[in-house]
Amino acid sequence: MKLNEVIELDKKHYMNVFGDRLPVCFEYGKGMKLWDTNGKEYYDFFSGIAVNSVGHSHEVLNKALKEQIDKYIHCSNLFYIDKQALLASKIVEKSCADRVFFANSGAEANEGAIKLARIYSKKNFGPEKFEIITLTNSFHGRTLTTVSATGQAKYQEPFTPLTPGFKHVEINNIDELEKAITSNTCAIMLELVQGESGVHPLSQDYLNFVKKLANKNQLLLIFDEIQTGMGRTGKYFAYEHYGIEPDIFTLAKGLGGGFPIGAVCAKESIANAFKPGDHGSTFGGNPLACAAGLAIFEILENENLVYNANEIGNHFLEKLSLLQSKLGVIKDCRGLGLLIGIEFNSAIAIDVRNKCLEKGFIIGSIGTNTLRIAPPLIVSQKDFDSLLLVLYRLLAQYE
Ligand SMILES: *Cc1c(COP(=O)(O)O)cnc(C)c1O
């Protein structure tokens, strides 16, 4: 299909929630690269928003999916599912969780986490303890309840009334958090690096304080690791950087390497609040999705990709600081592992992103001033050096 034909059909029949998309349609991908309908080659430094963790068309992932397709794709959760049990065990082995539930997306995993926090608190402390504190500029998903959890008015206002029971406090602000906690509070829900609002890592001091307050007030800690989990930040889960374990955490984006799957992961005592019938899903954790998740763990282990994310991410961030010292347009470079933000002093981010795309480099922009870079975990130093050269040449024009 030609690009203009795709655009015409999309404009006519798809709900216009994405506005004018970037005028590219991809046909093939392999490793770090994608090719569009005109045969043009691109380097992918965005991974479908931190999703394609092992790059495109990875042999091991594709083989696992094909093998499962040839056996059976789906069966109901009324039956035991071998791949589901194996993937849950794998997540438990690699994390602080004791039990896992699978959903189909990030938002849905967060819905599950919120339900679990509420039922746990209701059973243990009574019905008044239901409120969840989240951060302003957070992002937790697009369902009505996760929009209510998300601390951004632009996602909420069109859809009021929202799900009640959410309060938002400023990131890294200890006083505000302390004031927000009441006898109604049941949990604090956080992203350890805020992805959608510009790649802002939480400070260690703040998280230490959050943990202290949670202990003192019998609050659950929920970490939304949908973007930061599965090796993205150079550890399997971002909480490992901070040395603070959550009671509940959620996964999605990188977990299936592009196949839709989300997970609610929790400590035994919390997970046990769910009794048969309290939660469920038709598709969640189906054999094909779990085959993808298992293949991703296998690839991360065999190719040492979590280590790679740490090494290569640090390397890139160091080189970016050098760039920053040479170029006045860069205000700040920050990130953790392979989740990296570059903030400019002026509103050039969209222009820079578009020019990179023209040159065959896919990166993301957040708002008007910040770029988000989140390549597959297979990225090499050499790949990054090519991106740096392109960025350097482009940014020099704004000096
Ligand atoms: C992407 C994302 C979500 C939502 O995931 P979906 O799969 O789009 O529903 C939630 N939280 C965070 C931190 C995310 O990055």
Tokens of 248: 């509940």
Minimum-distance ligand 1 atom for the alpha carbon of 260: 7
Question: How many C-beta atoms lie closer than 10 Å to residue 208's C-beta?
Answer: 14
Q: Judge whether 222 and 246 are in contact, CB under 8 Å.
A: yes
Amino acid 151: pLDDT: 95
Mean pLDDT of 256-284: 98
Ligand 1 mutation pick, 192, 230, 253, max ligand atoms within 8 A of CB: 253
Q: How far is the CA of 107 from the centre of ligand 1 (A)?
A: 6
Read off the pLDDT of each residue in 37-57 and give the average, rounded to a whole number.
97
What is the tens place of the pLDDT at every residue in 149-208?
999 999 999 999 999 999 999 999 999 999 999 999 999 999 999 988 899 999 999 999
How many angstroms is it from 69 CA to the middle of ligand 1? Answer: 27
Confidence category of residue 213, pLDDT binned at 50, 70, 90: very high
Exposure letters 146-181 (e unless 16+ CB within 10 A, then b): bbbbbbbeebbeeeeebbebbbbbebbebeebeebb
Q: Rounded to the nearest whole angstrom, what is the distance from the C-alpha of residue 225 to the centroid of ligand 1? A: 9
Concerning whether 316 is annotated as a catalytic residue, the answer is no
From the list 94, 211, 253, 319, the catalytic residue is 253
**Among 196, 200, 202, 372, which residue has the most ligand 1 atoms within 8 Å of its CB, making it the best to mutate?**
196
**Which residue's CA lies nearest to atom 15 of ligand 1?**
227
- In order, the DSSP letters of 57-77 are S-HHHHHHHHHHHHH-S---T
Annotation marks residue 253 as catalytic: yes
- What's the confidence (pLDDT) of residue 127? 95
Ligand 1 mutation target, pool 227, 232, 233, 372, most atoms within 8 A of CB: 227
Token pair 């703040």: residue: 206
Atom of ligand 1 nearest to the CA of 107: 9
Burial class of 269 by CB neighbour count within 10 A (0 to 12, 13 to 18, 19+)? exposed
Q: Which atom of ligand 1 is nearest to the CA of 146?
A: 10
Per-residue pLDDT of 316-339, as tens digits, reads 999 999 999 999 999 999 999 999
Cβ atoms of 385 and 350 within 8 Å: the answer is no
Q: pLDDT digit string (tens) for 82-106?
A: 999 999 999 999 999 999 999 999 9
Q: Positive or negative CA dihedral for 153, 155, 159, 165?
A: negative
Residue 226 CA to ligand 1 center (angstroms) comes to 6
User: How far does the centroid of ligand 1 lie from the alpha carbon of residue 70, in Å?
Assistant: 30
Distance of alpha carbon 168 from the chain centroid = 20
- The predicted pLDDT at position 399 comes to 83
Give the CA distances from residue 261 to residues 214, 220, 250, 281, in Å, rounded to whole numbers and listed in that order.
29, 24, 11, 12
Q: Which residues form ligand 1's pocket by a CB distance below 6 Å? A: 105-107, 110, 139-141, 191, 195-196, 224, 226-227, 252-253
CB 375 within 8 A of CB 367: no
The answer to whether residue 224 is catalytic is: yes
The alpha carbon of 203 and the centre of ligand 1 are apart by a number of angstroms equal to 21
* pLDDT for residue 93: 98
**Per residue in 39-48, pLDDT tens?**
999 999 999 9
Atom of ligand 1 nearest to the CA of 227: 15
Question: Which residue's CA is minimally distant from atom 10 of ligand 1?
Answer: 140
Measure 371 CA to ligand 1 centroid, in angstroms: 18
Average pLDDT, the chain: 97
Catalytic-labelled residue, pool 44, 224, 247, 383:
224
CA nearest neighbour of 166 among 137, 131, 142: 131
Backbone torsions φ then ψ of 33, nearest 5 degrees: -115, 150
Looking from the CA of residue 143, the nearest atom of ligand 1 is: 9
State the pLDDT at residue 368.
96
Token digits for 14? Answer: 């798809």
Task: For residue 144, name the pLDDT band (cuts at 50, 70, 90).
Answer: very high
CA of 125 to the centre of ligand 1 (A): 30
Task: Please give the number of the atom of ligand 1 that sits closest to the Cα of 252.
Answer: 7
Query: For the residues 225-249, what does the mean pLDDT come to?
Result: 98
pLDDT higher for 389 or 399? 389
